[in-house]
Amino acid sequence: MIPALPVEAIRAAIAADDWAAAEALMAEHEAALRGACTPDSLGEAGCRDAWLQLLGAQRALMEELRTARDEAGRALDRLSRDRRGVAAYLQGGA
């Protein structure tokens, strides 16, 4: 049996900016996959398609993680620039 990818839980962790939880969920799923992936399971009729679908879903979710992480980094950069701008303004007006 192929372990289900916890997509909604991972997306909820991303939305909550809980990167450690999202990473842990992905790692747990990977461990479950490694346990389920045996020569017998790969040879089952129709199983290959299910594994390929899961691989596609994982890749899409990893791209969502990368995109969210990159956007969070850009937001932090903007906040840092804004903070420096405010500090410079306040010093100039004092």
In this prediction the pTM is: 0.62
Each residue's pLDDT, cut to its tens digit, for the chain (94 residues) gives 778 899 999 999 988 989 899 989 988 998 888 787 766 665 555 677 777 888 888 889 889 888 988 998 899 999 998 888 888 888 886 5
59's tokens: 């890749």
Residues 6+ apart with CB under 8 A from 19: 13, 69
The pLDDT assigned to 39 comes to 66
The pLDDT assigned to 89 comes to 86
